[in-house]
Amino acid sequence: MKRIAILGGTFDPVHIGHLRVALEAAEALDTPVRLMPAHVPPHRPAPRASPAQRVAMLRAALTGQDRLQLDTRELDRAEPSYTVDTLRQMRVEFGAVQPLILLLGADAFAGLPTWHHWRALFDLAHIVVLTRPGHSGALPAELAGEIAVRRARVAADLHASPGGKVFDLPVTPLEISASAVRALLAAGRDPRWLIPEALLADPALLAAYRHAGG
């Protein structure tokens, strides 16, 4: 059965680092990746751009390819964008046997015990940790204990069950941050080659960041 993979974030704005790791995951896992912008992110400040502006930027960035898709379900909910609620909604939509894959950066994964109902995530989806090649960061003891028997050896192990596995996927490390892009834009500087060309081609897409501070 085809997998469904999701990569969440504020995408404020979407940049090349987001798109590159998502594409590499799509190719390695042989499944499209849904980019899912958060409405009210619980663990970080509210986005500077509005939901409509972030959706417009993502639509422009994803034009012309079919590996990466846009999923706006978290923007359709007024409450905080807890991942466990999103995965529960997807389980209702796609059924109990559909493999779901949650993509997380290594730092986000290490902080998983601070997330809302974090242990329930393993009942709802596989977790693929997007790591730098050679990365071996330490994990909190409670997280290390939780995943000790969940490790998948190869990506194909994610095909056989709806969720519950953890798989490390090395991806190309592009040290680009949305906050740095916002600061460049606010200063009137050129963010070329850090963000998709489609955003540069339409200045209105970046209006939320111009001369607004980082």
Q: Percent of the chain, pLDDT > 90?
A: 85
pLDDT band at 114 (very low <50, low <70, confident <90, very high): very high
Put residue 42 in one of left, alpha, beta given phi > 0 → left and psi -120 to 50 → alpha: alpha
Query: What is the per-residue pLDDT across 4-26, written as a single tens digit (0 to 9) for each?
Result: 999 999 999 999 999 999 999 99
Q: What is the pLDDT of residue 194?
A: 97
pLDDT at 180 over 60: yes
Q: Assess if residue 188 is contained within a domain.
A: no
| CA distances to 30, 74, 114, 168 from 70, in Å | 17, 11, 27, 24
Task: Inform me whether the pLDDT recorded for 78 exceeds 60.
Answer: yes
Q: What is the pLDDT of residue 213?
A: 53
Chain-centre distance for alpha carbon 198:
20
Question: And the tokens for 73?
Answer: 């379900």
Q: How far apart are CA 33 and CA 189, in angstroms?
A: 31
Q: Would 190 be classed as within a structural domain? A: no
How many independent structural domains does the chain possess?
A: 1
Q: What is the percent of the chain where pLDDT is above 70?
A: 96
Give the per-residue pLDDT at 28. Answer: 96
Predicted pLDDT of residue 193: 96
Residue in 98, 164, 103 with CA at minimum distance from that of residue 128: 103
Domain assignment present for 204 = no
Residue 180 included in any domain: no
Domain, as residue range, for 31: 4-175
Does 20 reside within a domain?
yes
Across the chain, what does the average pLDDT equal?
Answer: 93
Give pLDDT, residue 151. Answer: 96
Residue 211, pLDDT > 90, answer no
CATH of the domain at 103: 3.40.50.620
Q: Confirm whether 183 is domain-assigned.
A: no
The 10s digit of each residue's pLDDT in 90-112 is 999 999 999 999 999 999 999 99
Q: How far is Cα 11 from Cα 178, in angstroms, rounded to an integer?
A: 7
- Residues whose CB falls within 8 Å of the CB of residue 73, separated by 6 or more in sequence, listed in order: 36, 86, 89, 90
What's the pLDDT score for residue 74? 96
